[in-house]
Amino acid sequence: MKCILLCIFAKKNNMKNLGLSALMVCISILAYAQQANNKWSVGLEGGMHGVISKTTTGYKSPNFNYYGVNVRYMANSNFGFMTQLGYNGFDFSKGNDQYERVNYLNFTLEGVANLSNIMNFSSWSKHIGLLLHAGPGGGLSGFNSDDYKVDKVLVGRLGISPIFKLGERVTLTTDLTFNGHLKQNRTFDRFNDVKISGRGVDSYFFTSSVGLTFNLGKNAKHSDWAGADDFSDYERRLAELEAALADDDKDGVSNAFDKDNETPAGLKVDAQGVAIADADGDGVLDAFDECPEAAGTFATNGCPDSDKDGVADKDDECPDVAGAIYSKGCMPNQVQTSEATKTVLKEATETIMFNLGSAEILAGSTSKIEAIVEVLKENPSYNLIIQGYTDDLGTSEYNMALSEKRAEAVKKVILNKGIKESRLVTKGYGEDFPAVQSAESREANRRVEFKIF
């Protein structure tokens, strides 16, 4: 999951080389993790039985007469299932007397745990393993020519198998297994009845064996030898990528591309993480500031605007009197308006408001706009400048665009009331020239202002 997140992060931040590296590591890990192992195997074994109980006192059986075959399926590298068929030939004797063989068969279905994978044996050996198996089944004892009926018993087996890898297809298997019986009627030598306690195992014996296991399947490795997944190299590479994608100085440029990884907080930086200068501190970077040595406004590209009419002093032919942008900062044919008209414009400015981040005029403002329309209709020589503003939330670029949209929104209402477009001029000033400075009164800065010329 971590490598996938690194890929996404790199892509979002346009880090193509690092993104590709992270993606390749992701693919390698996923391919390794999903690599299939063979699951089936067949085993053959032979050995001896011993510690037999219960038998008639004095009766013994030679040890070497056990044979078995098993088929095993590993659901994963740690756990699986096994069916087993075992045969024991008990040739009992007492002194010089030899008795007829007692034959014994059992069949079990067992669960298997691969302790070597669970305990990560592969960290110290690739050729030694350890399996634990246990499960129930049934058995038949005494199917020979004696006078007694065959014993049908319930069998429980518990065994441990050290295994040794000879190759990818063949394993040398050793095994020690406890075989416990329930419901056994006669002793293994068949001469006496078994006293059933009703509290546990009636009788038991052990088998020890050596054999070969043949791994089946088309894949290169069997689950017995899958080992604990070793992702150490991938983890190292991911850690390197993670470090490269980190941004220690929180300037938005990752360490891998940051030429100055100790940029103080709050400074704007270029694509290489180097702080961008703003000599006059007006918020317009020197690279874009037409007046880098004199503080100005965003609306005038960083240049001063003494009369706050949106025309930089260097371009303003009337720098001490607020004018119109289209007339180089002057007010040609300036109109002397009545006090009533000034009141209409003032009330419209105070009443026409906008929601945060919106150019939609709030309800209740229509009547003030209609009052302005009436003034323009009554005075055909009047023209109107509509100036849009915002509060200081958001970037300067965003606020500039929003202020222009607000001025245009009011213009559209006036046009719909029958005023010709040639009489209307709009201008956005963004967050410059706030009406109030208090953060609690930002709403008052989300406004439009009107001037007659």
| 116 in the same domain as 213 | yes
> What is the per-residue DSSP string for 27-88?
HHHHHHHT---B-EEEEEEEEEEEEEES--TT-B--S--EEEEEEEEESSSSEEEEEEEEEE
Q: Which among 311, 98, 312 is positioned nearest to 303, based on CA atoms?
A: 312
Mean pLDDT of 30-45: 77
User: Is 322 a member of any domain?
Assistant: no
The confidence band for 41, taking pLDDT boundaries of 50, 70 and 90, is very high
Q: Which two tokens stand for residue 414?
A: 């006036």
Whether 39 and 223 have beta carbons less than 8 Å apart is answered as yes
CATH code, domain with 445: 3.30.1330.60
**Which pLDDT value is given to residue 427?**
85
> What is the per-residue DSSP string for 382-417?
--EEEEE---S-S-HHHHHHHHHHHHHHHHHHHHHT
| 60 in the same domain as 207 | yes
d(CA 292, CA 208): 92
Q: Does residue 42 have a pLDDT over 90?
A: yes
CA distances to 115, 211, 384 from 125, in Å = 13, 21, 89
**In this predicted structure, which of 141-150, 255-264, 389-398 has the lowest mean pLDDT?**
141-150
**Which pLDDT value is given to residue 33?**
47
Fill in the DSSP letter of residue 146: S
CA distances to 156, 201, 223, 251, 343 from 176, in Å = 14, 19, 22, 66, 106
d(CA 376, CA 370): 10
| 92 in the same domain as 10 | no
| 179 in the same domain as 75 | yes
Q: Does residue 206 have a pLDDT over 60?
A: yes
User: Is 257 a member of any domain?
Assistant: no
CATH code, domain with 134: 2.40.160.20
The residue among 406 and 271 whose pLDDT is bigger is: 406
| 167 in the same domain as 59 | yes
| 194 in the same domain as 54 | yes
- Number of domains the chain is built from: 3
Mean pLDDT of 46-59: 78
| 57 in the same domain as 138 | yes
**Which pLDDT value is given to residue 256?**
73
| 122 in the same domain as 237 | no
Q: Which two tokens stand for residue 211?
A: 């054999």
Backbone angles phi, psi at 378, to 5 degrees: -75, -20
Whether 179 and 157 have beta carbons less than 8 Å apart is answered as yes
Tell which of 197, 225, 253 closes a domain: 225
**Which pLDDT value is given to residue 338?**
81
**Which pLDDT value is given to residue 90?**
83
Task: Provide, rounded to the nearest whole percent, the portion of the chain with pLDDT above 90.
Answer: 23
Q: Does residue 133 have a pLDDT over 90?
A: yes
What Rg, from alpha-carbon coordinates, does the chain have?
A: 46
| 95 in the same domain as 171 | yes
**Which pLDDT value is given to residue 332?**
60
| 66 in the same domain as 180 | yes
Q: Average per-residue pLDDT in the chain?
A: 80
CA distances to 31, 75, 117, 220, 360 from 35, in Å = 6, 14, 16, 10, 59
The confidence band for 152, taking pLDDT boundaries of 50, 70 and 90, is confident
Its domain, for residue 238, covers 2-34+229-245
The confidence band for 161, taking pLDDT boundaries of 50, 70 and 90, is very high
**Which pLDDT value is given to residue 170?**
96
Query: What would the pLDDT profile of 326-354 be if each residue is shown by its tens digit?
Result: 667 676 655 677 888 888 888 888 888 88
User: Is 306 a member of any domain?
Assistant: no
**Which pLDDT value is given to residue 71?**
98
User: Is 411 a member of any domain?
Assistant: yes
d(CA 113, CA 249): 50
User: Is 121 a member of any domain?
Assistant: yes
User: Is 281 a member of any domain?
Assistant: no
**Which pLDDT value is given to residue 3?**
52
Q: Does residue 10 have a pLDDT over 60?
A: no
| 238 in the same domain as 216 | no
User: Is 8 a member of any domain?
Assistant: yes
**Which pLDDT value is given to residue 16?**
47
**Which pLDDT value is given to residue 134?**
97
**Which pLDDT value is given to residue 34?**
47
User: Is 238 a member of any domain?
Assistant: yes
**Which pLDDT value is given to residue 432?**
82
The residue among 83 and 77 whose pLDDT is bigger is: 83
Long-range contacts made by residues 214-219, C-beta under 8 angstroms, separation at least 24? 214/41, 214/42, 214/43, 214/169, 214/170, 215/38, 215/40, 215/41, 215/168, 215/169, 215/170, 215/171, 216/38, 216/40, 216/41, 216/42, 217/37, 217/38, 217/39, 217/40, 218/38, 219/36, 219/37, 219/38
**Which pLDDT value is given to residue 166?**
95
**Which pLDDT value is given to residue 32?**
47
**In this predicted structure, which of 42-46, 182-186, 230-234, 266-270 has the lowest mean pLDDT?**
230-234
d(CA 385, CA 382): 10
| 440 in the same domain as 359 | yes
